[in-house]
Structure 1
Amino acid sequence: MDRSISNVGYWSGLAAFTATVAYGVVQILQIAGVFRFPVDELLIYGTSLCIVVPFILEMLALHHLTPPGKQFWTHAALIFTIIYAVFVTANYVVQLATVIPAKLSGTSEAIRVLEQTPHSLFWDYDAVGYVAMGLACLLAVPAVERVGFERWVRRSLIANALVTPLISVVYFYPTFSTGLLFLGFPWAITAPLFMLMVALMLRRRESAAHG
């Protein structure tokens, strides 16, 4: 087993876990009124963007450190991870580099179509991204063993996959409300949990391979 791939996967998983926890904290503080524009949006989109690259690298490491007979599943999971990355990166970069500066300069009316608001273009981009993340988790499940520590990793992946329908309701329910947003709150627990568990699994696999 390649120790360098394991290390990249492990540390990337920890970074993704940290960024996801940070996003959850910022989201709660925004709802509580602690953060206001532009700080709230800068932190929400910034922490969300920080999840992307580490998560890709974690899933890539998982693919390479999975036995060949199960790599179909990790390959499929990696494809959906890339779908997640493409859609959410497009959204967050536009919000951070175009929409927020336009709001601050008073010229946002010209780019209103780019703003992420309920049921807008980039709202749907965000939705597709996180649905794809949930599917990536679901597809990774068969690549993880049913015994020992990996049994708990499987459960964390399944838990996040099961939250995906709730995320879909939050995004696609006809009328958005703050109360509806709380329906997706379990994701703030299951997402960082599976990222951490996969990272720990990669480290344990590497340790087992080297005795």
Structure 2
Amino acid sequence: MSAALAERRFGYWAAIGACAASAAYGVPQILQVAGWLPTPLDRYLIFAPSLALAPMFVLAIAASCAQAAPEHRARRLGALGLAVVYATQVSSAYAIQLGSVLPREAAGQIGSFSDFTCCTFRAPITTVDLLGYTHMCLSLLLLATTCPPGWLRWMLLANGALAPALFFQLIWPELIYVGAIWLVVFPLAMALLARDLGRRDT
């Protein structure tokens, strides 16, 4: 297998992983809102794929950097940097939920850890989570500027356009209904990125 083919396959499967993890998050999130999942099962099913999504997204963006033309490399490295910031922020938030908050709730020992629950309005972890996803959207916005016209670019731009709606949920929680568009446009963007990374150098 040539090095170029290995890189394309790596990028393809990283983006597919990000797409799958985002879909695995989206389904229980919708079921939770509909009231069809009991707690704490709903939060386990939401936080676990979200935790998996973070590294898969970073790997997909890293693969896009490896395939970048010289004139696009700086912006793609910028996208990678923002992706790493996103992954660091949300991984910390979800690891705290899965490793500390939920087990303590189950044992009736939540105590002072109640301040670390996610994702109610103005909770500290919610703030970190929203900031992380804002960085993700900005990462995709930068990536979009390096892509030729087409569906991939439009889906990346759609994700980037959500950055203000996500960030300003810190003030106006009603913007969650705008941010919910992410449940559609992000998996589509990752599926299209997988196709692009697996098909040719970009």
Task: Return the alpha-carbon distance in structure 2 between the equivalents of residues 40 and 204 of structure 1.
Answer: 37
TM-score (norm 2): 0.93
State whether residues 166 and 175 of structure 2, in contact with CA within 8 Å, keep that contact through their aligned partners in structure 1.
Answer: no
Task: Return the alpha-carbon distance in structure 2 between the equivalents of residues 84 and 181 of structure 1.
Answer: 18
Residue 186 (1) aligns with residue 186 (2): no
Quote the offset at 1:118 in angstroms. 1.7
Quote the offset at 1:183 in angstroms. 2.7
- Equivalent position SS for 1:143: coil
Q: Which runs of 5+ in 2 are unaligned?
A: none
**Aligned counterpart for 2:171 among listed residues 167, 170, 173:** 173
**Aligned counterpart for 1:39 among listed residues 17, 41, 48:** 41
Task: Return the alpha-carbon distance in structure 1 between the equivalents of residues 9 and 16 of structure 2.
Answer: 11
Residue 133 (1) aligns with residue 136 (2): yes
Quote the offset at 1:114 in angstroms. 1.5
Residue 113 (1) aligns with residue 109 (2): no
TM-score (norm 1): 0.89
Task: Return the alpha-carbon distance in structure 1 between the equivalents of residues 121 and 111 of structure 2.
Answer: 17
- Equivalent position SS for 1:25: helix
Task: Return the alpha-carbon distance in structure 2 between the equivalents of residues 168 and 143 of structure 1.
Answer: 24
Deviations 1:90-134 (A, max 9, x none): 000000000000100111113122212321111111011100001
Task: Return the alpha-carbon distance in structure 2 between the equivalents of residues 8 and 32 of structure 1.
Answer: 37
Moved over 3 A (4+): none
Partner of 2:25: 23
State whether residues 89 and 132 of structure 2, in contact with CA within 8 Å, keep that contact through their aligned partners in structure 1.
Answer: yes
Q: Which runs of 5+ in 1 are unaligned?
A: none
Aligned pairs for 1:1-211 (under 5 A) are 2-116=4-118, 117-146=120-149, 151-169=150-168, 171-174=169-172, 176=173, 180-205=175-200
> Which AA in structure 1 matches 2:193?
V
- Equivalent position SS for 2:185: helix
**RMSD, matched Cα:** 1.6
